Copies of this chain bind each other. A is one copy, B any other.
Amino acid sequence: MPITTPAGYRALAEPDVAGYLAGLPAIAARLGGAPERWRVREVGDGNLNLVFIVEGPDGAVCVKQALPYVRVAGEGWPMPLERAFFEHRATIAQAPRVPGLVPEMLHYDDELFLMVMERLDPHIIMRKGMIAGTFYPQFAGQIAEYMAQTLFGSSDLAMPAAAKKAQVALFCANTELCKITEDLIFTDPYMVHARNRWTSPQLDAAAAAIRADAPLKRAVSLLKLKFLTEAQALLHGDLHTGSIMVTDRDTRVIDPEFAFYGPMGFDVGKLLGNLLMSYFSQDGHERRPGERDAYRDWILATVDEVWNGFARRFVALWDGPRAGDAFPPALFEGADGAASLRLAQAAFLRALLTDALGYAGTAMIRRTLGFAHNADFETIADPDRRAGCERLNLELARELILQAPAIAGWSEVTARARELRARGPRFPG
């Protein structure tokens, strides 16, 4: 059955792009010169969207257009065009708080479901850089700032209730992308499902053990419930190293099309879980044992720094001037009030930590046993070697989910990751 699209929608091809942009004076001025001289390349990585890089004599832009289906799966898996609308709205909601940490949004076309953004150059997708073993010394501080600003800034701590509820209502409509998360992260990997895959036969027993693990499935179901109900903050919704573009100095978060109001720990956990996956995958990428030792140390140090920086900035924002209705300042006046607020902040961050640990674990399992895998593991050609990395990843993930409330902090997690790697795989399979 062919997919029907709204009137006015057409998917652009490379030859259409310059003509389209020529009709947008601000964009045309940015590119400079005559449209015939603009160079257009389609560079979408094939998942969900068309992505064009357009270069003119004076500047360059990135054009991103939603397709009405999952590009990698073809028309058999329809996907709402409105995700471009939500990406646009999430970007303009976040940009004022994190102007240097997201691409500048230059234009949105609500008929074509198309955005024109700043072209990021010489940025690359962080996941690719990490597979190559590249250090990003500014990353921890910058992503901590991004998360603290966007999560705090969209919460009831920062926004008056009516304004926040209006945003919640807006993003409630992004149901189909939320459902992808609900199914692919929290459900499918824990049951027999045609969309699942894993390194087989090496991980067959491990996958079966996960499917048979009743306490794990109960804990994951509770994380799913929290994802469905807890409208804490406007999440990016897919914050991993594949949604981050970097240079050695700059960090930009892209692709917030999964944006919706959910639990803060989901963004934080997904990101840190992806760093842990990168850690375990390094054994598959080094050309001689130990070659990536320093890089592994950097990854784990980065996990700690991201959380610590995030927590510090989050509390600093909370301590600053703010318009939110939660924790009314009038109830926390004087020395007693200040001390009480410290306790409230510590309790809030402890709850956020627990959530993040659990969500990190779910991100690590879904990338090993579910539909969508990541290049960290996938680019390890030798299946035995890959399975060895993935097995450690599953083992830590399970511990994160089951033991989250008892884990003191991310330094305990990074120590445990190191310990598991030193010990070697033991998890079933």
Contact = CB atoms under 8 A, between A and B. Distances in A.
Contacts of A343: 218
Interface in A137-184: 155-156, 161-162, 164-166, 168-170, 172-173, 175-176, 178-179, 182
Contacts of A24: none
A134 interface: no
Interface in A331-357: 331-332, 336-337, 339-341, 343-344, 347
A172 B164 CA distance: 9
Nearest to A156: B228
A100 interface: no
A168 B178 CA distance: 15
Interface in A45-80: none
Interface residues of A, number: 50
A348 to B, nearest CB: 8
B231 A229 contact: yes
B325 A215 contact: no
For A161, A178, A215, which residue has the most chain B Cβ atoms within 10 angstroms?
Answer: A161
B337 A214 contact: yes
Contacts of A178: 161, 165
Interface string A121-133: 0000000000000
A230 interface: yes
B165 A340 contact: no
A161 B175 contact: yes
B331 A221 contact: yes
Nearest to A325: B182
Given A217-B331, A339-B214, A228 B325 contact: yes
A222 interface: yes
Nearest to A351: B222
A190 interface: yes
Contact of A172 (B172, B187, B222, B347): B172
B172 A327 contact: no
Interface string A195-218: 000000000000000001011011
Given A161-B182, A162-B175, A182-B325, A332 B217 contact: yes
Nearest to A212: B336
A381 interface: no
Contacts of A191: 328, 330-331
A224 interface: yes
Contacts of A172: 165-166, 168-169, 172
A323 interface: no
A336 to B, nearest CB: 5
Nearest to A164: B228
A229 B218 CA distance: 23
Interface string A291-310: 00000000000000000000
State the 10 A-B residue pairs at the shortest beta-carbon distance, nearest first. A169-B172, A162-B175, A214-B340, A169-B169, A165-B172, A156-B228, A217-B331, A225-B326, A191-B330, A214-B336
26 contacts: A156-B228, A161-B178, A161-B182, A164-B228, A165-B172, A165-B175, A165-B178, A166-B172, A166-B173, A168-B169, A169-B169, A179-B325, A187-B328, A191-B328, A212-B336, A214-B339, A214-B340, A215-B340, A218-B343, A221-B332, A221-B344, A224-B328, A225-B326, A228-B326, A230-B230, A230-B231
